[in-house]
Amino acid sequence: MGRLLYELGRLEEKARIANERGSSKAGKSSFSWAWGLDGTTEERERGITMDIAQQMLTTPHRQVTILDAPGHKDFIPNMISGASQADCALLVVDAATGQFEAGFERGGQTREHLLLVRSLGVAQVIVAINKLDQVDWDRGRYEEIRSTLRPFLLQSGFHPSKTKYVPVGAMLGVNLATREGNDATLLQNWYEGPTLVDLLDVLEPPARDITAPLRIPIANVFRSHGSGAAVSGRLCGGVVQVGEKLRILPGDETAIVKSIEVDEESAPWAAAGTNATFYLTSVDPVNLHIGNVLCSTTDLAPLATVFTARIIVFDIQVPITAGTSARVELFHHSHDVPATVSKLTSTIDRASGKVIKANPRVLTKGASAEVQISLRSTTLSGPAAVRPIPLETFAVNKEMGRILIRRGGETIGAGIVLGIDG
């Protein structure tokens, strides 16, 4: 991503040289391009992306907001937060011998990332097969990786017409924006297709529901200059204007939109599908948390502690049971809360939607099922009220109605909200 930003003039030469010097000094010279997006001291010291970095780039026909998500399995919650704000996915795989296999086989992150983004509603994917320069631009290696990924992408729900592959050598800048120079000679011998920028330039923006009620799940909270607070997130529906009064859910606090920033520029309004920063006044920053949802004061999102969902169970070793033993973590946008799979209602035929079995005892890998999920209290001692979360059925708002379930550090299922029970 760092090299792509540089090729498109989004990373200045001065910053590139500073990153090169700094990474060499830290003994991580090969990470100098990553420093274009990995800005925190810890990310730079460890040499891995941990948080979601947001950047802008422009192609001839598209303005693209990049959410650079971490690939490491310790930071999947951050990756989910980024993926839940995305329209399209750019999957970067390592073509070096043994490296692609390590990512794609069980325990690697390639499969989980593809399943997560598809479960969160992303239907378009570009697969950048990177580091081909390390295998001398071997066409056989490129085709081998494509043929391994193709059936898995199809099985995960990506339509072949919305799946594109591109060979790149990012460190050298080959086939990102251009395919020129000595470094690209070997690739030019067998590849005449589009560059990565060409593919980004023809991505299809999904339809935006600007007539829907306003919903802004908060992805980040930070102190603004002066009084008040600032939050960032992506509108899941509706339109918001400067001066508007918003309700913060859960809770009964309100805030006024002082200003809106889209792509680092001031804007009078923002509409569904936009990633924006909102500077708020008339609110104590203490009342703003990641996972809260901003709504118009006249049309609030429902709050739920118990709901029914239809889920697909991923490739798990230990089956899902119901009740207290089925403790899970529920992910909804940037929010993760403790929950329990309180009831297994039925298993369903994925193709026809018909019930196969009512009240099954367990759910095994690959199952499609209707379940009831109940939120748990976050306090360890004594009875405590369970804090509800703003949630909507998938039929009403697709983005507000998607959920993921994780257990013991792995994603075990994903699904959609069918009904709110309490």
SS3 28: coil
Q: Identify which of 411, 314, 419, 409 has the alpha carbon closest to the alpha carbon of residue 373.
A: 419
pLDDT for 25 equals 67
Q: Indicate whether 292 pLDDT > 50.
A: yes
Cβ(50)–Cβ(42) below 8 Å: yes
- Please confirm whether the linkage preceding 250 is cis (ω < 30° from 0): yes
pLDDT for 420 equals 96
pLDDT over 70 for what percent of the chain?
Answer: 87
Give the containing element (helix H, strand E) for 279: strand 275-281
Segments of 118-264 assigned E as strands: 124-130, 163-167, 215-223, 229-234, 239-241, 245-249, 253-262
Stretch 168-176: mean pLDDT: 91
Q: Indicate whether 67 pLDDT > 90.
A: no
Q: Indicate whether 283 pLDDT > 50.
A: yes
Q: C-alpha angle with apex 348: 346 to 352, nearest 5 degrees? A: 150
Cβ(211)–Cβ(281) below 8 Å: no
Stretch 72-81: mean pLDDT: 71
Stretch 28-55: mean pLDDT: 55
Pairing state between β 368-375 and 402-407: unpaired
Q: Indicate whether 20 pLDDT > 90.
A: no
pLDDT for 101 equals 93
The CA–CA distances, whole Å, from 358 to 256, 352, 371, 405 equal 48, 16, 11, 21
pLDDT for 52 equals 60
Phi then psi for residue 355, to 5 deg, are: -70, 130
Count of helices and strands (H, E) across the chain: 9, 23
pLDDT digits (tens, 9 = 90+) for 207-216: 888 999 999 9
Give the DSSP letter string of 60-128: SS-EEEEEE---SGGGHHHHHHHHTT-SEEEEEEE-STTHHHHHHSTTSSHHHHHHHHHHTT--EEEEE
pLDDT digits (tens, 9 = 90+) for 227-244: 679 999 999 999 999 999
pLDDT for 31 equals 55
Q: Give the mean pLDDT of the chain.
A: 86
Between 108 and 392, residue with greater pLDDT: 392
Cβ(176)–Cβ(7) below 8 Å: yes
Q: Indicate whether 79 pLDDT > 90.
A: no
pLDDT for 85 equals 80
Please name every residue paired with 413 in a beta bridge, in sequence order, or none if there are none.
313, 405
pLDDT for 382 equals 54
Stretch 84-98: mean pLDDT: 90
Rg, Å, the chain Cα set: 22
pLDDT digits (tens, 9 = 90+) for 303-343: 999 999 999 898 888 999 998 677 999 999 888 999 999 99
Give the containing element (helix H, strand E) for 20: helix 13-25
Between 381 and 3, residue with greater pLDDT: 3
pLDDT for 48 equals 47
Q: Tell me the residue type at 282.
A: S
SS3 191: coil
Tokens of 116: 């997560």
Going along the chain from its start, the domains and CATH numbers come out as 2-201 (3.40.50.300), 215-296 (2.40.30.10), 303-420 (2.40.30.10)
pLDDT for 384 equals 66
Give the containing element (helix H, strand E) for 280: strand 275-281
Q: How confident is the model at residue 96 (pLDDT cuts 50, 70, 90)?
A: very high
Q: Indicate whether 7 pLDDT > 80.
A: yes
Stretch 105-126: mean pLDDT: 85
CA distance 414 to 279: 33
Give the containing element (helix H, strand E) for 196: helix 196-201
pLDDT digits (tens, 9 = 90+) for 189-206: 999 999 999 999 999 988
- Find the Cα–Cα–Cα–Cα dihedral 43, 47, 49, 50, rounded to 10°: -50
pLDDT for 35 equals 56
The conformation of residue 156, written as its DSSP 8-state character, comes to H
Q: C-alpha angle with apex 236: 230 to 239, nearest 5 degrees? A: 75
Q: How confident is the model at residue 369 (pLDDT cuts 50, 70, 90)?
A: very high
pLDDT digits (tens, 9 = 90+) for 23-36: 566 655 555 566 55
